[in-house]
Structure 1
Amino acid sequence: MLVFQLRLSEIWRLTMMLLDQIRADRAANHEPRMKFFLVVFRAAQWARTGRGLRRLSFAPLAVVYKLVSACLMIELPLRASVGVPLVINHGFGLVVHPDAIIGDNCVLKHGVTIGIRRNGEGVPRLGSHVQVGSGAQLLGPISLGDDSIVGAGAVVVDDVPSRGIAVGTKARVVKQT
């Protein structure tokens, strides 16, 4: 009986934690479609990491999540580590690597890519309160410190310190014709 009570208390704690994450995401986002997307994301991610009945709910939630993410053109894998709350402005074209780490209170705008440069390389790690402008590319094993800002269209392949601002592109001519 004691084991059953412990399991119920653990289930209750995890459920309340999920609801707190959903409330925080809903309060931070102003667009109804992003609120809905993040509710489905958090629920599917919660079910993915569970056991028993919680794990059984994963298949239907995963299907719903895939449909919603395809309609909104957002690639945010359930495996990604995402802090609370996450603010997604517009969201269209957002692509996140499954191993990426996104800290608490981060803002991602549309067209952002968080990924790798080459296979086998590490992925970006975003600290807390990071803002990423539209069309920005965060590539490779980089770290963005707390309270940093990445400007629109920036290509970031080097670390950004805490409270740092990264702007511009990294492209250069490698061969002249």
Structure 2
Amino acid sequence: MNIFFQDWSYNRGNLRSQSVLLLFRIAHCFHRLPPTSRWIGYPYFLLYELLVVWILGIELSYKATIGPGLRLFHGVATVIHESVVIGKNCTLRHSTTIGMRHETEAVPTLGDHVDIGCQSVIIGPIHIGNAVVIGAGSVVLHDIPDHSVVAGNPARIL
């Protein structure tokens, strides 16, 4: 239950983000059930897709692994691939894309305390270290070490 409260408190004052993350956490719990029991969650998965993806326009896959304390500013036009791993206490802003470049490629892994500016793109089999700040509009295609600030297209360490 602690993960629910952390998300809720990190998004204090933003009822939409709190609601999206609550719906995400519940769907993720259903997804983690053994395959023989997962059918219980199918109606909920449909509800999640309808509310979060279709109505709110936030493609946050319930299959993604996301640590506690995710801050979601606005969220509109955000796309998070189902295989992405995001560490704890990270911040995502609107129009952020985290995924793959090609169908056969792996997806990014983000460390803890990563702050991502709006309209950023993080794609490919890369690792973003802990305590990294990614500037707005950045296109990240390569690994980023811990405690870095990056910006630009392509993103460079500042």
TM-score by length of 1: 0.81
Structure 2: gaps (5+ residues): none
* RMSD (Å), alpha carbons: 1.8
**Which of 37, 60, 63 does residue 43 from structure 2 map onto?**
60
- Aligned-partner Cα distance in 2 for 1:29–1:162: 25
1:47 is aligned with what amino acid?
Answer: F
- Aligned-partner Cα distance in 2 for 1:108–1:153: 13
Higher relative contact order (CA 8 A, sep 6+): 2
- Aligned-partner Cα distance in 1 for 2:69–2:51: 19
Task: Flag the 1:52–1:97 CA change in 2: closer, same or farther, 3 A.
Answer: closer
- Aligned-partner Cα distance in 1 for 2:5–2:121: 29
Task: Count how many residue pairs are aligned between Structure 1 and Structure 2.
Answer: 153
**Which of 142, 148, 152 does residue 164 from structure 1 map onto?**
148
The sequence identity of aligned pairs, in percent, is: 35
Q: Is 2:8 the partner of 1:26? A: yes
After superposing on structure 2, the runs of 4+ consecutive aligned residues of structure 1 that deviate more than 3 Å are 51-57
1:117 positional shift? 1.2
Structure 1: gaps (5+ residues): 1-18, 172-177
**Which of 68, 77, 94 does residue 93 from structure 1 map onto?**
77
**Which of 74, 81, 85 does residue 65 from structure 2 map onto?**
81
TM-score by length of 2: 0.90
Which structure is higher in helix share? Answer: 1
Worse overlay, 59-68 or 153-162: 59-68
Matching residue of 1:175: none
1:61 positional shift? 1.5
- Aligned-partner Cα distance in 1 for 2:126–2:98: 10
